[in-house]
Amino acid sequence: MTQQWVYRFDELDAVEETVGGSWEDVRSFLGGKGANLFEMVRLGIPVPPGYTVTTQACNAYLAGGGAVPEGMWEQMIAALESMEESTGKKFGDPDNPLLVSCRSGAKFSMPGMMDTVLNIGLNDETAQGLTKLTGDERFVYDAYRRLVQMFGSVVMGMPDEIFEEVITAACRKAGVQSDTELPAESWKTITKDFKDLFRHYTHHRFPLVVREQLKLATEAVFKSWNGKRAVDYRKAAGIPDNLGTAVNIVAMVFGNMGNECATGVALTRNGTTGEKRIEGDYLTNAQGEDVVAGIRLTKDLKELQVEMPSAYAEFEQIAQRLERHYRDMQDVEFTIENGKLWMLQTRDGKRSAQAAVRIAVDMAEEGLISKKEAVLRVSPEQVDFFLHPQFHPDATKAAKIAGRLLASGLNVSPGAAIGVAAFDADLAETWAKKENKQVIMVRPETKPDDVHGMLAAEGILTSRGGRTSHAALVARQFGKPAVVGVAALSIEIAKRQMQVGDTVINEGDWLSIDGTTGEVFTGKLETMVPDIKDPNLIKLLSWADEFRRLGVWANADYPADARRAREYGAEGIGLCRTEHMFFETDRLPLVQKMIMTDLPVEQKEALQALLPFQREDFAGLFRAMDGLPVIIRLIDPPLHEFLPDPMELLHELADLKIRLQHATSLAEIDELLQQVKTRETVLKRAETLREANPMLGLRGVRLGIFIPELTAMQVRAIFEAACEVAREDVSVHPEVMIPLTSHVNELKVQRSALEVVAKEVMQENGVEIDYKFGTMIEIPRAALTADQIAEHAEFFSFGTNDLTQTTFGISRDDAEAGFLIDYMEKQILPNNPFATIDEDGVGKLMAMAVQGGRSINPDLECGICGEHGGDPESVKLCHRMGLSYVSCSPFRVPIARLAAAHAALEEMPKK
């Protein structure tokens, strides 16, 4: 029996029976657009008659090397005949022709990434018949030229610009500003010119057999699934490549038959802010592509309420109904034909991060969705956008005073972006990826073919387009700051420049755009990292905390970092790097003195001088984290890192010796000789300490064993600080972390020595502190022998950066600057293992360590403190392993909180 590839819009029951009834399965089968058209028909919403060719047909076509699956074409013709019965029109009939559109529709929305052809069914004969029926020759040949244009660009791959040039020339010849003012004769001439262009570029005549038009258009949509722009979009959005696209064949309704007709696109809530009000763009006497392409200046949807009040009232009621039905903000397309409203599409609307959070919270409070659903509606990546830089208010004020405000447009995707102007997508991608430049992509309007440049750019600027234009949708989807519809901006692509008044901006000049306010500035403006004060985000994260089991701590070396971390919701400090404190200008000389001296007395003096600094640092952290745990890692890097680089010292010595040769006074000679002697001493010591592979050399626990006085000083500082703030009624919970343990005996030796110091300090102060000693697991051997190590550790903290390096046997700095990028592009590695934990290797070692450690101590505290702690996928892995917490940068804490909630919610059984 031949497989059914084609279903009419009124056959949703049959589809559900075929796929099993799940809405997700229906979407996979019919594509998102098709599934929603079927559902709107079921709801009784006015949708033109039509049918869908399934995604399975697309996959079969592509797998078969471009062969139409058996039975598909015959089923399409049968469904077409059913459309003829519904409409009373016939496909290809000169007397009463049926025209159809051919639209793509994948499971997940990919705005503009695949192909659409309108007005299929027009040829010379049906155009004459439609003219007789409508009495409107202008409308008919406007529709006919659109078919030739779209067929040429979509099906045959002709450049769209050559068609637009013909229309522009016709407007000049007719002395009109807009193509809507062109008379019928102009459109007839343009249609003929388009056919000539079609023959010139393709070496074929434009197909006049209407069934051939339909067949070729359907195959073009199938092929567009593997087009560059679609592949780029899927890669950026994380959409699988094996889903395929459906094809939707829909009876044409016309928004370009006169001033009682219109077409538009709308969102049921504001896509930028999330405000609960319908927003959108429309055009009278136009077809849908005119609105989203940005070629014509659109009208605000509010004007439709005045222009066509009855149609608008019906549209508003349907839009609100669709939002309630789908329980999410909807992006809808509509056409009004001679006062009659038709709905052509509904889908979940693309939105900015700020809008996503507000809509999720508002809908939960309106009772449309649950708190659980609200938390799952917002991705961790969207929370990240709240932390993207914004322009400093003082910088924007100064720029305006200085006359650097270039222009203003529509603020369609918030955030600040700084970059050099690039006037095409290929250059934007090249500059961003190959030359590591910050780029602002500048276009009159963006098209689907520009998506690779948009993804590479820091921000997007267009002179045309509205809030529902292609540029706005893609920018919001991927969190790119964008300003569109800057009417004052004159862009001359051929000259590689743009102009506002007398100000000319050339390609490569710096621009600053503010997607929050819609302002565009010349040059570079100062940015700042915003504080998270959005009340909706705060509320959403508090809901997330109700669901997550995994703790979220922060990496912080200073009290200010700790306070910020706590403000962002951190429940402890998972990593304080004590060596960072040593690099401050008032401490580095003491550290260097401790390293340089061969005399124990001088070494002791240096350490005693460092102790008050360390004590003060730790006291500040304890105060900031009152009541919460603070893990302090003892010194980790090798000592040579605190000394000048040997190559720099050699250059300085060479310079000093040259100056010595030219010195003229004894005082100058004495001073230079002293400097030479000092640098030679430092160089000798640096060369003594230099190791062939310092990452695996004398560092961490080994350094503590080698110089026990150093780590003893640190532990004394920790416990003196703890005792000091405990007397202030601060609840102190220090956890001392010994780094780089590879053998249990290292930990045993170091802990026993340091715990003596801790007890000594507490006895001296008469204060008992709740403390722990633990270790970092960052060497594979430590993970493999975790059961032995757990005998002497009260907590494990995975140093996933070093554990990744030692598991893969690669240097992070060298790999990320070299072959690792190539590995990912060639898919040798699925992800950067330094960005997302390698589950099969590093993850397996971590799981073994947790299991081994907890076999000795079931309550063993286990966490991670590498940068992976702020990566959503790594957070989910840590949740599955049963870790106690993740620790990350303070700015990643909100992201980790939401990711941890997602991990918990996603493993709950679905109702």
Q: Active-site residue numbers?
A: 470, 865
Element (H, E) at 491: strand 490-492
Pair 521, 399: CB distance under 8 Å? yes
Residue 282 half-sphere exposure, CB side, CA atoms within 13 Å?
A: 32
> Which of 510, 569, 609, 597 lies closest to 894, judged by CA?
569
Distance between terminal CA atoms of the chain?
36
User: Tell me, what amino acid is at 730?
Assistant: V
Residues 6+ apart with CB under 8 A from 238: none
Structure-block tokens of residue 271? 């896509």
Query: Beta-carbon neighbour count of residue 604 at 10 Å?
Result: 14
Beta partners for residue 418, in sequence order: 512
- Secondary structure class of 147 (helix, strand, coil): helix
> Which of 412, 150, 383, 393 lies closest to 273, judged by CA?
412
Separation CA 63–CA 61 (nearest Å)? 6
Residue 312 half-sphere exposure, CB side, CA atoms within 13 Å?
A: 17
Pair 732, 688: CB distance under 8 Å? no
Distances (CA, A) of 441 to 339, 457, 517: 40, 6, 18
Separation CA 715–CA 382 (nearest Å)? 41
User: Which residues in 697-724 are b (16+ Cβ under 10 Å) and which e?
Assistant: bebbbbbbbebeebbbbbbbbbbbbbbb
Separation CA 241–CA 219 (nearest Å)? 18
Long-range pairs for 59-63 at CB < 8 Å and ≥24 separation? 59/242, 59/244, 60/5, 61/219, 61/222, 62/222, 62/223, 62/225, 62/226, 62/244
Q: Where are the alpha helices (DSSP H) in 532-645?
A: 535-547, 559-567, 578-582, 588-596, 600-624
DSSP state of 841: I
Q: What is the dihedral of CA 45, 50, 54, 60, to 10 degrees?
A: -170
Pairing of strands 503-506, 459-462: unpaired
- Secondary structure class of 552 (helix, strand, coil): strand
Rounded to 5 degrees, φ, ψ at 467 are -70, -15
Rounded to 5 degrees, φ, ψ at 773 are -115, 135
Please state the three-class secondary structure of 699-751 as a single string: CCHHHHHHCHHHHHHHHHHHHHHHHHHHCCCCCCEEEEEECCCCCHHHHHHHH
Long-range pairs for 287-290 at CB < 8 Å and ≥24 separation? 287/118, 287/143, 287/146, 287/254, 287/255, 287/256, 287/263, 287/335, 288/118, 288/255, 288/263, 288/333, 288/335, 288/344, 289/116, 289/118, 289/146, 289/150, 290/263
Separation CA 65–CA 72 (nearest Å)? 15
Structure-block tokens of residue 420? 């050099």
What is the DSSP secondary-structure string of 362-425? HHHHTTSS-HHHHHHHS-HHHHHHTTS-EE-HHHHHHHHHTT-EEEE-EEEE-SEEEEEEESSH
Residues 6+ apart with CB under 8 A from 459: 415, 417, 418, 419, 440, 441, 480, 481, 482, 483, 513, 515
- Helices and strands, number each (H, E), in the chain: 38, 31
Query: Beta-carbon neighbour count of residue 95 at 10 Å?
Result: 13
User: Tell me, what amino acid is at 826?
Assistant: K
